[in-house]
Amino acid sequence: MERLLKINEVSDMLQVSRKTIYNWVCYGYIPHFKVYNTRGHGGVLRFRESDLEKWLQRRKQDGRVTYKDMIFSQHN
């Protein structure tokens, strides 16, 4: 099974603040998922390194994307 990354690790890896990662998650910009305990409570964010690598490759190809572009593209 692939190792799951915590938000601190993703923040360090991408060299952006944790707040930026949380914003990206909120907007659905970065691939992520929530892991819940056995009772379905206490969800924590986790990231697959392979998903982030693919995401970075798309960003590299697409160039700079603003929040406005990101939100507009999700609704079209």
- What beta strand segments (E) does the chain contain? 4-5, 33-35, 44-48
Tens of pLDDT along the chain (76 residues) come to 888 999 999 999 999 999 999 999 999 999 999 888 777 677 899 999 999 999 988 877 656 666 666 555 554 4
Q: Is the CA virtual torsion 23, 51, 63, 10 positive or negative?
A: positive
Cβ neighbour number for residue 48 with a 10 Å cutoff: 16
Q: Which residue has the tokens 């690790």?
A: 9
Helices (H) and strands (E) in the chain, counts: 4, 3
Q: Is the CA virtual torsion 63, 73, 31, 25 positive or negative?
A: positive
Predicted TM-score (pTM) of this structure:
0.71
Structure token pair of residue 24: 């990206």
Looking at CATH, the fold of the domain delimited by 4-74 is given as Multidrug-efflux Transporter Regulator; Chain: A; Domain 2 (1.10.1660)
